Amino acid sequence: MKSKWVEADAAERVARGANAGIEPDLSLRIYSTALLGSDPKLVLHGGGNTSLKTRARDLHGEEVEVLRIKASGADMAAIGPAGLPAVRLAPLRRLRALEAVADEDLVAIERANLIDPAAPNPSVEVLLHAFLPHKFVDHTHASPVLSIIDQPDGEKKCAEAFGGRLAFVPYLMPGFGLAKKAIEVFERSRPSDGLILGKHGIVTFGAGAREAYERMIEMVTLAEDFIARNTKPRTIATVSRQPEPVAAVAPIVRGACSQKDDQIEGAWRRLVLDFRGGADVVSALESDLTRLGQGGVVTPDHTIRTKNWPLVLPHADIGELDDFARATREAAHAFVTRYRDYFARENKRAGGGKRELDPLPRVVLVPGLGLFGLARTKREAAITADIAEEWIAVVRDAERVGRFESIAEAEMFDCEYWPLEQAKLGTRKEPPLAGQIAVVTGAAGAIGAATARAFAAAGAEVALLDVNLAAAREQAKVVGGSPLALACDVTDGGSVRAAFDQIAAHFGGVDIAVSNAGAAWQGRIGEVAEDILRKSFELNFYGHQRVAQAAVKIMLAQGTGGCLLFNASKQAVNPGPNFGPYGLPKAALLALMRQYALDYGADGIRANAVNADRIRSGLLTEDMIASRAKARGLSERDYMSGNLLSREVTAEDVAEAFLHQALALKTTADVTTVDGGNIAAAMR
Ligand SMILES: [Zn+2]
């Protein structure tokens, strides 16, 4: 591993900091923290932490000695001054005299001693940093180091790899106990460069930022050299079997890793998937699957993202999807049972009182194909997958130099259910569509875009499909979460299937399809050319059928129900003169919606439609509004609000109606009217 320290960059950082009133040491602390955070071989997503001992002025204007320590869960790659809250050092150090400190007391003491009372909570490893005497302390979970220390004889391997430069601290869970043990070991053996925290990570220190950082890089390089020197010869695994594509496998995995809600009939707890199928992952699954399947985290804080062991599935061989689906459901069921037993056993040992987390898998291994990370959002699923990839790399190297050994079950439980670790995941209330995946067609149009925004705001992951990809991408920029924009022409069956395959491969499946794409054609029905009528049916009827069919196929593979939503029109109920080419397929669309409700109700798939009228959109442009208002002798405002309530109806109103239908778990075959009141178009 090479040092990324560039003296000119560091000097520039110090100069820029000085203009903003930031002291040089803090600027350098931020610079080297970001260097460490930028390498996934050192830390991943909020793991690891750094600190600086310096002085600061408190609210009374008095200068005091402080520890600037990374905030709990903050990402080192993106750190700034606010991510390194300052805590009074003396009160932290006084804690060393105590025998034990309760978690709540520790957090209270930290918060009471923050220089800025509004600052985020310091890292859970704050005391480890506070007790060490060095000005700069860096702590990472470097992968090559983990491969050496996650071993039955980790201490011996460390002595061989690092000599006396790092002292070995046996495993203890992070917190007060580990901090006390670490300073005892340090004072006894006075290592020159830092500490190894058994089965957890590495600490380096120094009088300057560069010294602490470059010691970290040098130690990690020694670990890499040790692995290279000691690697046992091994056979290269080759994959000869042909797997089903990810798009076909993912919905089966996702469905099996969902859980029925015991409180709300028809509701499911679902997860979003992130797939990794690189050559390294696939070959590791061939050669080390047995070891990986036994599980065990490579460093304790991964447990909150990955759980302690993965779900291992059989090969998904081509043409044998039914067998794979059966085996997947059985394996997922066995996983849940095993997790519940583990919780019951360990909760009892720990004195009871813990609340069980959901028992669903977070990492799924499919030999021959790759791995899935699972979480409640796409962003978090990608974090889980990143951690799982690094976990595989560490275990594989550990097996090359010896035998991978993780912490014991009781130790894993203590970390997984440690309130300070759980706090990193946040406690915010989840939005109503969390874990669900929604597809919107015609997503670049006014109603489609408003619907995509409304569903994302309600917590769904959203795929925006439109025949105009650039316009869909434009809309995706203003949708929250992690939207996926795809080109899709609903008049082309191949285009629809390809788009749904991409969605299934990207998010893991589909729960809600809002079939919205449409366009209007006019003509007096007795005289209109047949090809006009056919064109309109192709888009305004068959387009919906293709989308619904593709969505239902995925929903059935998941086995967790779903929801089809159609944009019908007032024309479906109340035809307008010379508007037959548009109204007739829309009338057929209402019948289509009812047919889906009828044929798939037993599968928990609901089908509903929104009947909206007079919305400013691509179908009713500003020019059309002006000309129609003029033709009727009305102002534009009066024309647009020409309904019983005299209120203009907007695309957002239609989006809210779709959202309501998605959430109404006991409603199917429903038409919701959003038109301000038009008695001729009232449903009867
Ligand atoms: Zn750590």
CA of 48 from ligand 1 middle (Å) equals: 5
CB atoms within 5 A of ion ligand 1 belong to: 201
Q: Would strands 562-569 and 461-466 be described as parallel, antiparallel, or unpaired?
A: unpaired
pLDDT of 423: 67
Q: With a cut of 70, say whether residue 327 has pLDDT above it.
A: yes
Mean pLDDT of 203-226: 97
Q: Would strands 86-88 and 63-69 be described as parallel, antiparallel, or unpaired?
A: antiparallel
Mean pLDDT of 201-228: 97
Summarised one tens digit per residue, pLDDT across range 62-99 is 999 999 999 987 888 889 999 999 999 999 999 999 99
Q: Could you tell me the sign of the dihedral formed by the alpha carbons of 110, 105, 356, 261, in that order? A: negative
Q: With a cut of 80, say whether residue 458 has pLDDT above it.
A: yes
102 vs 16: which has the higher pLDDT: 16
Question: What region, left, alpha or beta, does residue 409 occupy, with left being phi > 0 and alpha being psi -120 to 50 degrees?
Answer: alpha
- Locate tokens 């805590």: which residue? 87
342 is catalytic: no
CA of 251 from ligand 1 middle (Å) equals: 35
pLDDT of 424: 61
pLDDT of 377: 96
> pLDDT class for 102, splitting at 50, 70, 90?
confident
SS3 content of the chain, % helix, strand, coil (to 5): 50, 15, 35
Q: With a cut of 90, say whether residue 13 has pLDDT above it.
A: yes
- At 347, the amino acid letter reads N
Q: With a cut of 70, say whether residue 364 has pLDDT above it.
A: yes
pLDDT of 234: 64
Mapping DSSP onto H, E and C, the string for 119-141 reads CCCECCCHHHHHHCCCCEEEEEC
CA of 123 from ligand 1 middle (Å) equals: 9
Share of the chain above pLDDT 70, in %: 98
Mean pLDDT of 583-590: 96
Distance CA 122, CA 563 (A): 44
> For the sheet containing 605-612, what is the strand order?
484-487, 461-466, 437-441, 512-515, 562-569, 605-612, 670-674
- Locate tokens 């302690």: which residue? 308
pLDDT of 352: 86
Distance CA 253, CA 313 (A): 9
Mean pLDDT of 358-387: 96
237 vs 179: which has the higher pLDDT: 179
CA of 178 from ligand 1 middle (Å) equals: 11
pLDDT of 426: 62
Q: Which of 171, 339, 582, 596 is catalytic?
A: 582
From the list 280, 320, 325, 275, the residue with the least C-alpha distance to 505 is 275
Q: For residues 658 and 454, is the Cβ–Cβ distance under 8 A?
A: yes
Share of the chain above pLDDT 90, in %: 80
Q: With a cut of 80, say whether residue 383 has pLDDT above it.
A: yes
> Which ranges of 481-540 does DSSP label H, i.e. alpha helix?
493-507, 530-537
DSSP string, 616-655: SSSSS-HHHHHHHHHHTT--HHHHHT-STT-----HHHHH
- At 437, the amino acid letter reads I
The mean pLDDT value of the chain amounts to: 93
Q: With a cut of 90, say whether residue 631 has pLDDT above it.
A: no
From the list 26, 41, 32, the residue with the least C-alpha distance to 9 is 32
Structure tokens at 126: 């704050």
Q: With a cut of 90, say whether residue 429 has pLDDT above it.
A: no
State the angle between helix axes of 246-256 and 493-507 in degrees (0 to 180), rounded to the nearest 10: 50
